[in-house]
Structure 1
Amino acid sequence: MVDLIACEWMKWKRSRMLWLMLLGAVLPALLVFLVELNGASDSKSLDWVNYFETNLQIMAMLMCPALFSLLIGYLFAREFQERTVNNMLTGPHSRLRVLTAKFIIAFPVLLAVMLLTFLLMLGTGFFFHGAGDTLTMSILGKEAGKYALLLMLQYALTPISAAVALLWRSYIPAMGLGIFAVISELTIMQSKYIMYYPWSATLNLATNMSPGHNSASIGYSTMALAFVVPLVFIAFYFRRADVHSG
Structure 2
Amino acid sequence: MFRTLHIEILKLKGSPMIWVSIVGVAVAPILNYLIFLSLKNHEPSAISIERYFEQGYVFLVVLLATVMFGLIATYIFNREYQEGTLGNMLTIPTGRIELIINKMIILLGWIILLLLFAFALSILLNYMGIFMEFSREIIIKYIKVYLLTGVIYFLLTPVTIFITMIFKSYIPSIGFNIFVTISSLVISDTKYEEIFPWSLPYLLTIYEGEFHYPKSYSIAAILLTFIISLMACIVYFNNVDIE
Q: How much has 1:109 moved relative to structure 2?
A: 0.8
Distance 2:209 2:200 in 1: 10
Q: How much has 1:209 moved relative to structure 2?
A: 7.4
Aligned pairs, number: 242
Q: Tell me which stretches of 4 or more aligned residues in structure 1 moved more than 6 Å.
A: none
1:74 paired residue number: 75
Q: How much has 1:128 moved relative to structure 2?
A: 4.6
Distance 2:47 2:13 in 1: 37
Could you tell me the percent identity over the aligned residues?
28
* SS of 1:40 mapped into structure 2: helix
Structure 1: stretches of 5+ with no match in the other structure? none
Distance 2:198 2:176 in 1: 11
**Alignment CA distance shift 1:222-1:176 (3 Å):** same
Q: How much has 1:172 moved relative to structure 2?
A: 2.4
1:39 paired residue number: 39
Farther off after superposition, 122-131 or 66-75: 122-131
Q: 8 Å contact 2:25–2:118 — kept in the other structure? A: yes
User: Normalised by the size of structure 2, how large is the TM-score?
Assistant: 0.92
Deviations 1:152-173 (A, max 9, x none): 1111111111111111112322
Q: 8 Å contact 1:45–1:129 — kept in the other structure? A: no
Q: How much has 1:18 moved relative to structure 2?
A: 0.9
Structure 2: stretches of 5+ with no match in the other structure? none
**Superposition map of 1:114-153 within 5 A:** 114-128=115-129, 131-132=132-133, 135-153=134-152
Q: 8 Å contact 2:25–2:65 — kept in the other structure? A: no
The alignment's C-alpha RMSD in Å is: 1.9
Q: How much has 1:90 moved relative to structure 2?
A: 2.3
Q: 8 Å contact 1:203–1:209 — kept in the other structure? A: no
Q: 8 Å contact 1:194–1:213 — kept in the other structure? A: no
> Is 1:11 matched up with 2:11?
yes
Distance 2:147 2:212 in 1: 22
Distance 2:190 2:211 in 1: 11
Q: How much has 1:201 moved relative to structure 2?
A: 2.3
Distance 2:234 2:60 in 1: 30
**Superposition map of 1:221-236 within 5 A:** 221-236=220-235
Deviations 1:5-49 (A, max 9, x none): 011111122321112111122111110000000010496595111
Q: How much has 1:243 moved relative to structure 2?
A: 2.2
